[in-house]
Structure 1
Amino acid sequence: MRENRGGAESMRDKVDALKQAVDLRDLFMERYPGRFRRSGKWLYGSSPYRTDRRPSFAINEDIYIDFATGERGDEIAFVMREQGVNFKEAVETLQARAGGVHLSPAPQHERESPSPSEPPSAAWQTVMRAESSHAQTYLYASAPDAQAALHWLQTRGLTLDTIRRAGIGFNPTWKQTRLRERESGRAVFIAPGILIPCEIDGALWAVHVRILTDADLPKYLYVRGSKSSGLYNGDAVCAGCDVLIVEGEFDALLAGQMLGERAVVVTLGSAANKLPRRWLDRLQVARRLYSCLDNDEAGQRATAQLADRLGDRHHALKLPRGKDITDYVVRHGGNLTAWWDDQTAPFAPRPVQLPLLDTFTPPR
């Protein structure tokens, strides 16, 4: 444990001390006995939070990572997720843990979820539509945190019209919903941050939360019960259109705002999310398929996977500067429409050139 210097211990010091006192691997092994195998300092196994046919979940002493979805967290995030509590309550739980109180094992198959190719239950959609509507109303309130959230969105190049049409909202604090997790019965909470609903063909597939202020949480969290396999803006794909696949919702909104009728812009929300057969079939009606994922290792891997799934109809586009579309436009002042026209020109069909006659003799 860290030495308490100068009197009252700050929350940050308290959290750091708890992380040193509690090994995250022990928490997972007690909660899910027999699910993970050890290799060096890591535990490996299938995710306890989703159907995971190819084990892609890893845990060390202070972090867990789902390599398939990109989700990661620490001891605090683990307790918040497992027990449906807020940050302060999670700290108190870990303090009890450090004092010798252990977590009980989870019931077998507690986290098994319905098919990822189908949207959440009607009950989940009803509750989360109401919560999303409330968050959308709050985003335009006069409260300082709401105004700060709206300003953050606008600094990413999004217009008020784009923000409203996307149904984006803001949730200021941890909020308990009327939903309960299957099997365990624990309450479902919404994290504080910007709420991004993913609605496709009249079904609410997911609510993604962009965390703005809590450095102890990942930047993005899904509300429990969301299906991260939804194709954001997928219902806009139509026969004969050009489709641009990007990595996140904010890139999709900005690109769609700037490209207009040039392309339908969609995203799976993360480079780690795979393209299910449901959306692969939907994309078959498009004229041409393009992708522009983040300029990093994860984005490059995801681009290669898209090429394998989509075949010769897929063309990967590259930005001249910046990590992603938002960075290119906002930070580097890039002209996205000019970039699009230049990048897609080599793949556009060329008009048929008819041979010209040297002379023309009218019929007699």
Structure 2
Amino acid sequence: MARRRSDFDNSLRDHVKETVTMHRVLEMLSLEPPDRSGKIKSIINHGERTPSLHIYSYHWHDFSSGQRGDQIEFVQQYTGCSYREALDKLSGATTSRTSKRRREWKPPPPPDLTATFDTEPEASPLGIQRAAGYVTAKWPFLTLGDLIDFGVKPCETALWSPHRDMKGVVRGIKIRDVVSNSKYAVTGSKFTGQLYRVRTCPGAPVAIICEGESDLWCLTKWCQQSQFRTLVQPMSLPAGAGTWRTEWHGELESFKTIIVMLDGDIPGQAASKHIMQVLGEARTGSLIPPHGRLAESISEADHWLAPIIRRVLTEHVGVDHISGPGTPVV
């Protein structure tokens, strides 16, 4: 006869399944949040490029393999642990009173992709020409030289964007194919270490959080060309609007004002609302770019963004005597 779980186990199991969301499970396992379509890369087919595992509120479905399950089964599948060990991890309790010793699961260490990035061959002259044309057509405000200055590597048919941690170690690599315009990441990449940035502004009183790499590149270039270059720290969410990690709060403690400027679509505005709530609305504000996306609105930023930053600096931060591109347009 199969051994039945005790009533205590069933009660705890039901409590976990009703209260622990799949998004919380991903955080506990240090996995990337779902993309805009609600999917992550398969935890079963590790070599796939296009995410196929759909994350729902309290269950998951891997379309590449047909497997599905609840939160407990997800932890079992990802870590290889037993049912009880998965339940222990999700509940913070010990489900087996008779077990004298239980195996502790620890998340894998963050990847070091520095060598992968450094050894990827750079583009030939033809590849450079192709990448330069792609950048000009895709983001008229930018040049390939700008991206290279920001640490992006032009390879033969793609742009490689490293995401580094505070020590400069490459933890994730985003790849944008300049021929097909497809986007994907190097296998094993993690983008949850810190907010993405390509320049640091020590002592800057204002931070602007945007959405995505291209928004960050455009904002950084605009800030560098303005009188705000030492007063505003541009940052972006490293994995889109669905990403927010509590460990990022520490990166933002020193800023007096934080402007959240995500896309104007439903996911972007939902994320903006959430970020303002967790950071505190006393020092945060939300702004939607005129054309819905920052990269598409940056060429007009002297007219719509500069006056707002100037007002924030003078009224809330106490910075005076700002001139040049930061001067309000009447």
How far is 1:306 from its partner? 1.1
For the Cα contact (< 8 Å) 1:239–1:287, is it kept in 2? no
Out of 169, 173, 177, the position equivalent to 1:207 is 173
Taking structure 1 as reference, are residues 152 and 345 closer, same or farther at Cα in structure 2, changes over 3 Å only?
same
Superposition deviation, residue 339 in structure 1: 2.2
Cα distance in 2 between the residues matched to 1:272 and 1:111: 27
State the match for 2:47 in structure 1.
84
| 2:209–2:259 CA contact under 8 A, matched in 1 | yes
Matched residues in 1 for 2:245 and 2:66: separation? 36
Which residue in the other structure is 1:249 paired with? 213
Alignment of 1:310-349 (within 5 A): 310-311=279-280, 312-320=282-290, 322-329=291-298, 334-349=299-314
Q: Secondary structure of 2:26's partner?
A: coil
Q: Cα–Cα, structure 1 residues 246 and 85, in superposed 2: closer, same or farther, change >3 Å?
A: closer
* Pair 258,298 (structure 1): closer, same or farther in 2 beyond 3 Å: same
How many percent of aligned residue pairs carry the same amino acid?
Answer: 18
Point out where structure 2 has 5 or more consecutive residues left out of the alignment: 1-20, 51-63, 68-73, 82-104, 320-330
CA RMSD in angstroms comes to: 4.0
1:148 deviates by: 2.2
Q: Which residue is equivalent to 2:326? A: none
2:268 pairs, out of 257, 282, 299, with 299
> Partner of 1:238 in structure 2?
202
Does the 8 Å CA contact 1:46/1:54 hold for their aligned counterparts?
A: no
1:276–1:152 CA distance, 2 compared to 1 (3 A): farther
> Which blocks of at least 5 consecutive residues in structure 1 are unaligned?
1-44, 58-65, 88-101, 173-191, 353-364
Number of residues paired by the alignment? Answer: 242
Q: Which amino acid aligns with 1:193?
A: A
C-alpha displacement of 1:168: 1.4
1:52 alignment partner, one of 14, 18, 26: 26
CA contact (8 A) 1:259 1:337 kept: no
TM-score, reference length from structure 2:
0.60
* Residue 151, structure 1, aligned to residue 116, structure 2: no
Query: 2:204·2:232 contact (CA, 8 Å) conserved in 1?
Result: no
Is 2:134–2:178's contact at 8 Å kept on the other side of the alignment? no
Q: Give the alignment of 1:1-364 within 5 angstroms.
A: 46=22, 52=26, 68-70=34-36, 82=45, 84=47, 108-109=77-78, 120-121=110-111, 124-132=112-120, 134=121, 137-138=122-123, 141-143=124-126, 145-155=127-137, 156=139, 157-172=141-156, 193-201=158-166, 202-214=168-180, 219-229=182-192, 230-233=194-197, 236=200, 238-260=202-224, 261=229, 262-269=231-238, 270-277=240-247, 279-311=248-280, 312-320=282-290, 322-329=291-298, 334-350=299-315
CA distance in 2: counterparts of 1:111 and 1:195, whole angstroms: 33
Listed one character per residue, the Cα deviations across residues 179-203 of structure 1 (whole Å, up to 9, x for unaligned) are xxxxxxxxxxxxx632111123212
Residue by residue over 1:118-156, the C-alpha shift from the partner in whole angstroms, topping out at 9 and shown as x without a partner, is 7x33xx333323245x3xx21xx222x542222212331
**Cα distance change, pair 153–103 in 1 and its aligned pair in 2 (3 A):** same
Q: How far did 1:54 drift?
A: 8.7
* Larger Rg over CA atoms: 1
The letter of the residue matching 2:233 is V
Residue 268 of structure 1 and its aligned partner are, at CA, apart by 1.5
TM-score between both structures, scaled by the size of structure 1:
0.55
CA distance in 2, matches of 1:325, 1:162: 17
Find the residue that maps to 2:174 and give its secondary structure: strand
